[in-house]
Amino acid sequence: MKEVLERIDASRGQTLDELLAWLRIPSVSADPDRAGDVDRAARWLADRLSRAGFTTEVAPTGGHPAVVAEWRGAPGAPTVLVYGHYDVQPADPADGWTGAPFEPEIRQGAIVARGATDDKGQVSCHVAGARAVLEARGALPVNLVFLVEGEEESGSDHLEPFVTANRHRLACDAVVVSDSGQFAAGVPAITYGLRGLVYLEVTVQGPSRDLHSGSFGGAVVNPANALAGMLAALHDPAGKVAVPGFYDDVRPLEAWERAQFAALPFDEAALRADLGVGALGGEAGYTTLERLWARPTLDVNGLWGGYTGAGAKTVIPAEASAKLSCRLVPDQDPDQVAGAVEARLRDACPAGCAVDVRRLHGARPVLVPADAPAVRAARTAVAKGFGTDPVLIREGGSIPVVEAFQRLLGAPVVLVGFGRPDDRAHGPDERFHLDDLWAGVRTSAHLWEALAEADPAGSAIY
């Protein structure tokens, strides 16, 4: 790899100049007035990938286009799909930016601009990494396909239909996503698990009309009181979800995972201070990181019913509602959990009220076995690129596109993040440290080789 690494160092000026030029295009996908800029950012990327040796297309979707770039010069070797996005969050100097969000500057060793880390900077690592290998060696050790969409910051509404329609063209042995981050500065991470989701809306119906609490209070079952009791019944005093069957399919944390999480530089006091709470909470028997990453939850997301204006109105509401959701962990099934929670709610609903439960949304949890070849390859590449072994972490949220790739393409998804937690993605003065940029480019260059070596036949990389 010596010649590849020399090539990376020699082209630092080009890599940086190109990233800064790309950052100057305000590709805010949520802003209809920026549609021309969004399109320009797509064409800019396609042009760079063409020059690097890829066959590119700015492919129409139902919304902003997707850039698809293919290099298929390694027959018999694995095929790798790199996913990223070229659109960015809105940004305005009025939001607290020191400079202009779309006029990038280098300050204190970091590029400061909207999109610097999320996701133009991280996509650029892979563009530069692949280009360096192609320039130094004339060929990549894997077949490589870029899929870079333009709607990630506004919902990825057209991504799943696009992937479905192009599932043969996008067929691959592994998906690489660099849209997450290091665990902390200098602690690069591979994210191997995501939580899923099931989202319900519950309405408790009592009397057929709002009633006067003087005339009827004490004899009518109040649906707001009933809802409170039903929601309270969903947890036990130890913070466990008190729904029969809820934990049936939860895969227990393995010993190495608990040890790995426990060893992370995680500052619970700083989290408490940041959130302004005197104490954290959760399920007994688990640490905070275990609760966040590997244990399922049941949170009330919204609550409404009766009189909510100023002052006092003595009403017994006709109905009361809540939105609630469970974060799911492997191997929980959204339908099974939704059914179990619904059954518990029905069971807890008192006589005199009726309950209606609607399922609004569901997403399966994701777990890529940490010893899968694709993960092992990514660990090797990060160790070489950053000069330190990555930690293996999970993420508490759901990333719908990850679950969609796994489901639609049947390939493992490896999340390798180059940015830092304090890079201010979505915030003012978003940045990407130059150290991380170069480490990311090196990691990318190593990754193709590591993936090729992990399973030269390309048949069982998962």
Binding residues for its own copies restricted to 229-268, rule: CB under 8 A = 229, 231-233, 235
CB of 238 to its own copies, least distance (A): 12
Q: CA distances (Å), 218 to each of 221, 222, 313, 329, 398, in order?
A: 8, 9, 17, 42, 44
Q: Which is nearer to its own copies, 103 or 347 (CB)?
A: 347
Q: Are 126 and 176 in contact (CB under 8 A)?
A: yes
CB of 355 to its own copies, least distance (A): 12
- Tell me the C-alpha distance between 388 and 132, whole Å: 22
- Cα torsion through 376, 377, 382, 387, rounded to 10: 80
Task: Please state the closest distance from residue 279 (CB atom) to its own copies, in A.
Answer: 4
Give whichever of 81 and 227 is closer to its own copies, judged by the CB atom: 227
Among 90, 323, 356, 357, binds its own copies (CB under 8 A): 323
* Residue owning tokens 């090539």: 7
| Cα gap 103→116, rounded to integer Å | 11
Between 96 and 397, CB nearer to its own copies: 397
Distance between first and last Cα of the chain: 25
CB-count exposure of residue 413 (10 Å: 0-12, 13-18, 19+)? buried
Kindly state whether residue 325 participates in binding its own copies, applying the rule CB under 8 A: yes
User: Which residues in the 376-415 window bind its own copies by CB under 8 A?
Assistant: 395-398
Nearer Cβ to its own copies, position 26 or 334? Answer: 334
Decide whether 32 or 278 has the Cβ nearer to its own copies.
278
- Joined together, the tokens standing for residue 15 give 């890599």
Q: Which residue has the tokens 């691959």?
A: 172
Helix (H) or strand (E) holding 42: helix 35-52
User: What does the per-residue mask of binding to its own copies show for 196-235, with x meaning CB under 8 A?
Assistant: -x-x------xxxx-xxxxxxxxxxxx-xx-xxx-xxx-x
Q: Among residues 20 and 393, whose Cβ is nearest to its own copies?
A: 393
Among the listed residues 280, 284, 457, 460, the single contact to its own copies using CB under 8 A: 280
Interface positions, 441-460, toward its own copies (CB under 8 A): none
What's the closest the beta carbon of residue 360 comes to its own copies, in angstroms?
A: 4
What residues numbered 340-379 form the site for its own copies, per CB under 8 A? 350-354, 360-361
Q: Among all chains, which residue has been given the structure tokens 């998962």? A: 462
Q: How far is CA 83 from CA 174, 197, 239, 405, in A?
A: 11, 22, 38, 10
Structure tokens at 127: 């563009």
d(CA 71, CA 446): 17
Nearer to its own copies, 66 or 298 (CB): 298
Should residue 41 be labelled a site residue for its own copies when binding is judged by CB under 8 A? no
Q: Using CB under 8 A, which of the segments 119-127, 130-138, 300-308, 385-393 binds its own copies?
A: 300-308
* Contact call for residue 327 and its own copies (CB under 8 A): yes
Q: How far is the CB of 341 from its own copies (least distance, A)?
A: 13
Among 184, 185, 250, 303, binds its own copies (CB under 8 A): 303
Question: Is residue 328 a contact residue for its own copies (CB under 8 A)?
Answer: no
- Which of 17-25, 143-151, 242-250, 286-294 is the region at the interface with its own copies (rule: CB under 8 A)? 286-294
In the shown chain, the binding pattern of residues 167 to 196 toward its own copies, with x for contact by CB under 8 A and - for none, equals ----------------------------x-
Least distance (Å) between residue 217 CB and its own copies: 4
Distances (CA, A) of 261 to 169, 286, 306, 372, 419: 38, 11, 44, 19, 20
DSSP per residue, 319-362: EEEEEEEEEE-TT--HHHHHHHHHHHHHHHPPTT-EEEEEEEEE
**Cβ of residue 87: shortest distance to its own copies, in angstroms?**
20
